[in-house]
Structure 1
């Protein structure tokens, strides 16, 4: 069994590919043959020891997995060998096999291939929970998405349109903004060449945006918050710039707006029934063609460091995936 291993915290180039003994399922567990594993920004943090969860060394990164059940352990009746499944494990996915609790498995929807299945749930689950559960986005409202060409950002653009919002996409280059338009953005902002706050003001006739979706943080947070409408909701999703902004709280008073945290992983654990309802809606939209992730690149397992480096340098558009067979 081949796996990408992090033996010491460091950059992607410090990862090694090794052969290991095949995995075995314990009580309540299954072994999944990994067919595809999504590459996500937290993977770049966990290998550097900068993520909130630190698995014991050595470990394999990768949490968003699609594959086939290879073995079931004692007491498992919910799945059988050969079932196609999606599973989130926290780590371990950059490998040919992974062990997971049977309770963690999500049946793969019909007519969905493995790369698509390994690219969908985390990005769209996060963005759907943010927009529906935390912001309560309403038809006709204006949504600003920062980092709009990334995995969760592009999902937010697409879902915002599906929910009836007017969507303004902000990203760092013209080619990224072109993709945002293809995924439904009504207006775009290049925040490397345009003044974000002034452009928001122009596009909203001075009224501001109702919801900000921010997976980026850093220097863009305050001007986005200053560009909010009365009663707006600012969604804190992540900090891909690496900088956690310090926000003047008087802005929330002046605008009557809210700063709302979005932690999808904790939500899935704390509210599993509501999470299942949200996933059912998302899978229905996926199967109906209402939403579809952009997979911009597929890498074999051996090129995992390259995929992670591209993620760190913000070269990725949509999602990239490691696949068992390139």
Structure 2
């Protein structure tokens, strides 16, 4: 059985408004361990822009159908599937194989798909997985965040930053968030950040003095990279943990190993992938428990139409509103 539909597809790298076209597409009957869903909503993130620029490691060449995460209805399953036709699920797509979520349908690995709980709308479910799984991997799995510790979140108004603020607060930590505009700083405050500062290296030092007694931050969450991340390493506490997640600034941070040794802190890479299915289910189970008790929620920004995907992805280069962008099918 094959499924006919359409997908936003680029056959070359470039500006999403120029290279993406809504093109006919066929999805074949999935093999064991895979499913196909009819897309109800899809999350939008910086990697969607990076893959169209040709600088995203998991997408080496066109054709490209972006859209890393979706909420959808199962319409086809492989042999021995744990999912049923008609079931509502959410998770990550096989964008790396050309079947992203900016489409009428999307392919998903069963290990990366989860039943969508009733308390999450389609839009909330579509924007939940990557932000919160990344935040969980950084805060819990890699940094071992403890109640009462103080967390600095760079890029606090972005998808990962916003999820990190909310999750850290739910785990009883103190949070200082950094954001570049007044609107973004207000957004971080609404999420529960204990303090919010402008993107300035001098303010980092004063914030560390004010909120940690000059001891430094126990955990730094960095989806930004670049010079501000390098400056943030200077305010990590003794035995602190710096979580390198992304490079929204255009460049990765450059750790000073001698400084790490002399001040006994760690810099660690964070990727919310490569876990066993059992680990994925356990981590997601913990997150959904927090969601069910209203301790965390998808920090939604705008909800656009699927027809507006090229413009929405283009907006990620500057001027995008704070929070998680989602497109509705």
TM tier, smaller: over 0.9
**Residue in structure 2 matched with residue 4 of structure 1 by the alignment:** 8
Contact 1:25 1:99 in 2 (8 A): no
The alpha carbon displacement at 1:105 in A equals: 2.3
- Residue 136, structure 1, aligned to residue 156, structure 2: no
Paired residues for 1:169-318 under 5 Å: 169-192=177-200, 195-266=203-274, 268=275, 271-313=276-318, 315-318=320-323
Contact 1:144 1:168 in 2 (8 A): yes
CA distance in 1, matches of 2:252, 2:141: 23
Residues 131-166 of structure 1, C-alpha deviation per residue, up to 9 Å, x if partnerless? 011111111111100001111101111111111111
Residues 230-279 of structure 1, C-alpha deviation per residue, up to 9 Å, x if partnerless? 1110111111111123222222122110111111123x3xx332221111
Change (3 A) 1:153 1:21: closer
The alpha carbon displacement at 1:221 in A equals: 1.3
> For structure 1, which segment, 55-64 or 163-172, has the greater mean C-alpha deviation from structure 2 after superposition?
55-64
Contact 1:62 1:90 in 2 (8 A): no
1:125 to 122, 129, 133: 133
Q: Which runs of 5+ in 2 are unaligned?
A: none
> For structure 1, which segment, 205-214 or 243-252, has the greater mean C-alpha deviation from structure 2 after superposition?
243-252
The alpha carbon displacement at 1:100 in A equals: 2.8
Give the TM-score normalised by the residue count of structure 1.
0.93
Give the TM-score normalised by the residue count of structure 2.
0.92
How many matched pairs? 320
Q: Secondary structure at the match of 1:100?
A: strand
Q: Secondary structure at the match of 2:308?
A: helix
The alpha carbon displacement at 1:55 in A equals: 5.3
The alpha carbon displacement at 1:10 in A equals: 1.1
Contact 2:91 2:129 in 1 (8 A): no
CA distance in 2, matches of 1:54, 1:44: 11
Paired residues for 1:17-166 under 5 Å: 17-28=21-32, 29-54=34-59, 56-73=61-78, 75-91=79-95, 92-166=100-174
Contact 2:7 2:25 in 1 (8 A): no
